Amino acid sequence: MSRADHDVVVIGGGQAGLAVAYYLRRAEIDFVVLNADDRPGGAWLHTWESLRLFSPAGYSSLPGWPMPSSRTAGFPTRDEVIDYLTRYEERYRLPIERPCDVRSVERDGELLRLEFEDRRSITARAVVSATGTWRAPYIPAYADRDRFRGVQLHSADYQNPDPFVGKRVLIVGGGNSGAQILAEVSEGAETVWVTRKDPVFLPDDVDGRVLFERASARVPGDFDPAANTTLGDIVMVPPVKAARDRGVLNAVRPFERFTESGVVWRDGSESRHDAVLWCTGFRPATDHLRSLGVVESDGRIEVVDQRSVKEPRLWLAGYGNWTGAASATLIGAGRTARELVPRISAALAEAKSSPDLDGRT
């Protein structure tokens, strides 16, 4: 076998990468985590200021060490999640290099070679990509979007409602981001909420736990608030309930096209807006894997049991249900990493024992 710098390299040091690192360490596999951000926290570093988990801390933990309860009333804040992830990687002394932005992954004989922004590179026998979705915000195609002269902002760049006070704001997107951002922006702005279909609201007394349970199919049959619940269904956190009580939680169907100052609706009427907030989700951030020829048009990679079909030395963690049930959540990241690491370990052992091209073992 050719000599690699590491047996496994994990790309991405968010919650998914840390969960994989925890199990790699326990399995005594040689590895390093490479993380583009300059500090711990993954996507939570970039989310809006008021964001809280929609489940209690005890239900949002990585393997090994439960998340401490929130110091404030309610579910953990964004900063508490960042603090937890920071202390988690210190606690387990996980080997993480940052900032380290992987630009591409290339085939290099029996190994994979990871090339960095600063032109350095390292080799690995296996690569786990856990780069999340935050770097790949998605905006759907709407006619004449370029003509609109107002502000356009994706939820990936939204921080707080201050810039929108007194403005007429169109909020596009019917998931939790759309509902939560609408809830706070509508306190000081005139808002219109645009969703493709009627948003699905969970019952008031149900929190995000049910979404995780549904996504990983562990809910017993007697509880069925919404049999088809998905991670996109709206959890009625207090600000969203308050928005409903103010009568602003009403969604309308999409408009036809943009004008310079607003939009034209399907019935031909026009409305003026100062800003559009795109709460339309994300795609997998997999540009660094394009060189391997494995990335589909929607950013996904064909996998069986988290392993790329076209490149068996490549494994995926996080991203969504296609890389493991609820794997984009804190609790799901741990469950899927627990399944992933034994598979990688078996693949490494198999590669070591199989003869190479010269017939040596």
Can you give the binding site for ligand FAD, defined by CB under 6 A? Answer: 11-17, 34-37, 42-44, 53-55, 60, 101-102, 130-132, 134-135, 176-177, 180, 208, 285, 288, 318, 328-330
Minimum CB–partner distance for residue 167 and ligand FAD (Å): 22
**Which residue's CB is nearer to ligand FAD, number 161 or number 318?**
318
Name the minimum Å distance from CB 177 to ligand FAD: 4
**Residue 43 or 294: which CB sits closer to ligand FAD?**
43
Reference 185, options 238, 234, 248; nearest CA is 248
Q: Which is nearer to ligand FAD, 117 or 270 (CB)?
A: 117
Question: With contact defined as beta carbons under 8 Å apart, do 345 and 29 qualify?
Answer: yes
CA distance 253 to 233: 17
Residue 14 Cβ vs ligand FAD, minimum distance, rounded to whole Å: 2
Distance, in Å, from the CA atom of 208 to the CA atom of 234, rounded to the nearest integer, reads 9
Identify any residues that bridge with 281 across adjacent strands, giving them in sequence order: none
Nearer to ligand FAD (CB atom), residue 36 or residue 263: 36
Measured CA to CA, the distance from residue 328 to residue 322 in angstroms comes to 10
Compute and round to an integer the Cα radius of gyration of the chain: 22
Please name the helix (run of DSSP H) or strand (run of DSSP E) that holds residue 15, with its range, or none: helix 15-26
Distance of CA 221 to the CA centre of its chain: 28
| Choice between 187 and 287, CB closer to ligand FAD | 287
Residue 252 CB, shortest distance to ligand FAD, in Å, is 21
Q: Closer to ligand FAD at the Cβ: 30 or 101?
A: 101
Least distance (Å) between residue 1 CB and ligand FAD: 26
CA–CA dist 63, 335 (Å, integer): 8
- Provide the 3-class DSSP secondary structure of residue 296: coil
Q: Which of 142, 174, 137, 169 is nearest to 154 (CA)?
A: 137
Hey, what amino acid is at 212? F
DSSP state of 49: T
Q: How far is the CB of 350 from ligand FAD (least distance, A)?
A: 27
